[in-house]
Structure formats: structure tokens, C-alpha cells
Structure 1
Amino acid sequence: MPYLTTADGAEIFYKDWGTGQPIIFSHGWPLNSDAWDVEMKLAADNGFRAIAHDRRGHGRSTSTYTGNDMDTYAADLAALVDALNLTDIILVGHSTGGGEVVRFAAQHGAGRVVKIATAGAVPPVMVKSDTNPEGTPIEVFDSIRAGVLADRSQFYQDLSAQFFGTNREGSTISQGQRDQFWRQGMQVGLAAAYDCVKAFSETDFTEDLKALDVPIFIAQGADDQIVPIDDAAMKSINLVKNGTLKVYPGAPHGIAGSYQQELDKDLLEFWLS
């Protein structure tokens, strides 16, 4: 299995499928690169080189105690791009991964990144503050940290309902899909799972979004119970120079079911355009 060793010694696992223009996929919390397998196959089947990594502390990458912050995540991605000598890059990020690709593109991707797509992404900033009064109260994120510490196995099982919207009438998401979320969550190191909550909720990506000058496709489900759309996609689209927004009626945060089918069609169209 391919690994990259970062400057601080962390080993980052990655998948590398197909040939052609590279598309890098960045996963959400508490998942890993397996979350993107369907989209990676879609990309590779259509003439692209699909690459996805397990963020440090997640999946098969080193279970790190330090470096579980957005600047380090972006630096790790930059190290992977350097190691593979990638150019003409398309970035795709979900949730926390949306923040990671936005920061990478703004701070490391000049001249290399040509397109960005995000889905249910955390930018511009999630937590409520004096400058972001519409944000999510810090107590919500404190409760996530408490759940991770107290009984993360049960916490991930419970969280999967909101993640995929199975608590909504008419949901067709399977128990297997929820089990897959739990399986990936249980592969995250405790320190990384805990610290990443701060990374995805308190990092301010406003200036990163403003700095982007490449086309960016911003997608989000209208019924996202994890990242509130009014404080995410609806704000981000007004901060980027060359953005397209698509809202999926009734769709949840997790990419699955009919939402995944529709989103994947739109992603492929964006990649090929």
C-alpha cells in the first residue's frame, strides 16, 4: 500500500487509481479515503487519475497526537502533491475535506490547482462568534468532543442518523451505509478525532475563499443536519470569485443514495467541462 512520510514523520496512506488529469479527493470527519471509492472509480473510469488520502490520524495513516489542525492537514496534502509531482489538479472535498482543499488551494496550490468542488463543506467558519453570530454555538462542538471521549463507538452509531438523514421520514439509506460510517469512524485515533472537531469548527476560511481564482463548484444538501447550509454554502458562494452553487433539495450531509447519484453526475460534468 502506498504511503507518504511527512516532515514530522507521519505516514499518510493514499490510493492512486487510473491515469490522466489528477483529481484529489479529501474526506470528511470521522471518515477516510474509503468514503470516496465510488467517486474515485467514476473518475478513473472517465480518464482521470483519482487520488485520495487518509488524513493524518484517520484510517490507515499514522495515529498522530499532534498536527491535527487545518494548516497541517493542508501541508500534508501539499507534501503528497509534491511527492507525486502533480499539476493541473482538480480538488474535491467533503465537509472537513472541503476546508482542507480550500486551504490547500489558497496557500499551496497556485499554478497547480485548476478546479475545486466541495460538498457540505465547513467553510467559511462554523462556530458562532461576535463576527459570525449566525454560526453554531460552541456547546454543540463541546458535546461532540464529550461524545467522542465518553463512548465513541455509540456516538458514531448515533451520529450516522443525522449524517445520512435516516431520522427523516422517507429515508432510503441502508443500515449498511450507517455501519460503514461507524467502521470508518472507529479507525480514527482518539486524539485526532477530538482535535479535528476544533479544526473543522473553528478554522476561518474566509480569506482562503477570497483568494481562490479558479472555478469552484459548491454543492450542499438543503437538509444538511451537520453543517448548516445558511452558514456554509450560502456564505461561501458570496466570497469566491468564480463559483457555482447547487443546492440539493432534501439531501443530507452524507453522500449516499439519490443525493450521491445526482451529485456524481454533476461532479463528472464539472470535471469534464
Structure 2
Amino acid sequence: MPYVTIPGDTDLQLYYEDSGGDGRPVVLIHGWPLSGEAWAAQVPALVDAGYRAITYDRRGFGRSDKAPDGYEYDTLASDLNELMTQLDLTDAVIVGFSMGGGEVARYIGTYGESRVAGAVLAAAITPALCITDDNPDGGMPMEGFAGLRDECRGDRQGFLEKFMTWFFSNPSELTITEDQFRDVIRITGQGADKALQDTIIAWATDFRDDVAKFTVPTLVIHGDSDNNVPFPPSGKRSAEMIPGARLHVVAGGPHGINTSHADEFNRVLLEFLGSL
């Protein structure tokens, strides 16, 4: 199985999958609490259209090493940079779903766009979810993020089942099959406790300075019935902040739009890629 080695006091192995080929690289960054498997509905569509699809499991999740620390966005973006550098990806499109949008933003904000041809923020937590004095239009105060973390710490399995029910409901009706839901729960079982808990707090990161540095073409795609990352404080604001951003709102779309509305998601993603 392929791994990228993240150097450090103790090297970390980051699991990835690469379809290969000569097409433009499309790097798919998963949301919480999933893994690269969450892109199962997108990879075949991308490959069939001639693109090189690359997924990876965030540190602490999926088949990547369960690191003792590093669950904040400077480190997570550094992991993405190692992947981009070690695979020597250029002219790539980076697609961040949910908390994966934070990696896209912090990567561009820190490492620039020399390897990047476009960006996609899908149901993403950007630009700044935490309500503060200078960010009154966020989605939740810091106490809310801490409360979610404490729920996960106190009853991991119960919290994951509840969270993933919200994830795929619009807002109250489950939009995927029971088999799909059970498979999602299986994937969540691969995450380390510390990774699950610490990254919840990371969702409160302010990415406004990072998003302000976007100059590449950007697609923002978001469901209008997202329970987990409501559209007004996130996708709507990101689209307004990024000059020329293309916005697509999925009618009746829950948080997990890449699964629940896979055909629409893929169509919009491929149209965006084809325009670059």
C-alpha cells in the first residue's frame, strides 16, 4: 500500500491512493470523521473523464498513522504540502470537503498556488465558523465546539452515530440508504480518539486571511439543508470573499452532498475542471 512519509521526531506514514495517468491531478481531501474512502463516488467519475484522482487519509484517520499530535491546521496543511511535493504534483486542483476545506485554505495561505490550478470548497468550514467579537457572522461560539468535543470524548460511538445522522439528513430525513450509513460508520471506526477530539476544536480556526489569498479559479459547492456546516456562515461567505468564485447550491442537499447527491456533485465538479 502506498504511503507518504511525513518527517519528524518520529516519522509518520500518510496513506494515499493514486489512480495514476497523465491527466490533471485532482487531490481529494476528506471530511471528519472519515477517510479517503469517502470519495468512492467521485474517483471513478474523475478517472473516466481522464483525470488523475488522488485521495489520502488525514493523520489519525483511516489507514494513516495515529499520531500523538499535529491535529491543527498548520500541521495538517504541512501534511498536504508533503503529499503535493513528494508526488511532485503540479497544475493540480485541490478539493476540500468539510474540514478538508481548511486544509485547502491553509495550504494556499501558507504555501501559495505554484502547484495549484484551481480549488474546490465543498460543504467546507471556511472562512471562519467560530463566532468572535470580530467574526459575529460565524456559526457557533467556541463553547459549542468544546461541547461537541466533550460529547465525542464521553460517548464516542453514540456521538458518531448522531453526528453522521445529521451529516446525511436534510434537515431531518436521511438521504442515503441504511447500507451506506452502516458503511460510513465503519469508516468512522478507523479514527483515533485524539484525532477525532482535537480536530473538532480545529474547526474553529479562522481562515479569513488564507481565503483572501486565493487567486486561482475556485468552486464553492454546498447544500442548502446542511445541518453540520450551515450554508450562510460558510459556503455563502466563502463565495463572497473569493473574487470570481463559482457558487453551486445543492437544493435539499445535506452536509454529505458528495454521497447523497453524487451525480449532481460530480457533474458540477467535472464542469468546473473542464473550464480550467
- Residue 109 of structure 1 and its aligned partner are, at CA, apart by 3.8
Change (3 A) 1:176 1:139: farther
* 8 Å contact kept, 2:254–2:260: no
Q: Does 1:158 align with 2:166?
A: no
Consecutive aligned runs of 4 or more in structure 1 exceeding 4 Å deviation? none
SS at match of 1:235: helix
Identity fraction in percent: 37
- Describe how 1:1-273 pairs up with structure 2 within 5 A: 1-8=1-8, 9-19=11-21, 20-135=23-138, 136-165=140-169, 168-169=172-173, 171-200=174-203, 202-256=204-258, 259-273=261-275
Separation of aligned partners in 1, 2:259 and 2:68: 35
Change (3 A) 1:256 1:176: farther
- Residue 138 of structure 1 and its aligned partner are, at CA, apart by 2.4
Change (3 A) 1:172 1:148: closer
Give 1 or 2: higher helix fraction. Answer: 1
Change (3 A) 1:63 1:267: same
* 8 Å contact kept, 1:215–1:242: yes
* 8 Å contact kept, 2:41–2:259: no
Amino acid at match of 1:225: N
Amino acid at match of 1:97: G
* 8 Å contact kept, 2:171–2:225: no
- Residue 144 of structure 1 and its aligned partner are, at CA, apart by 1.5
SS at match of 2:40: helix
Number of aligned residue pairs: give it: 271
- Residue 105 of structure 1 and its aligned partner are, at CA, apart by 2.2
- Residue 34 of structure 1 and its aligned partner are, at CA, apart by 0.2
- Residue 69 of structure 1 and its aligned partner are, at CA, apart by 0.7
- Per the normalisation by structure 2, the TM-score is 0.94
CA RMSD, 1 decimal: 1.4
* 8 Å contact kept, 1:4–1:80: yes
- Residue 129 of structure 1 and its aligned partner are, at CA, apart by 1.0
Amino acid at match of 1:139: E
Change (3 A) 1:195 1:216: same
* 8 Å contact kept, 2:29–2:96: yes
Amino acid at match of 1:93: G
Amino acid at match of 2:7: A
- CA deviations on 1:125-159 (whole Å, 9 max, x unpaired) are 11111112232122322222122111211211111
- Residue 95 of structure 1 and its aligned partner are, at CA, apart by 0.2
- Residue 166 of structure 1 and its aligned partner are, at CA, apart by 6.3
- Per the normalisation by structure 1, the TM-score is 0.95
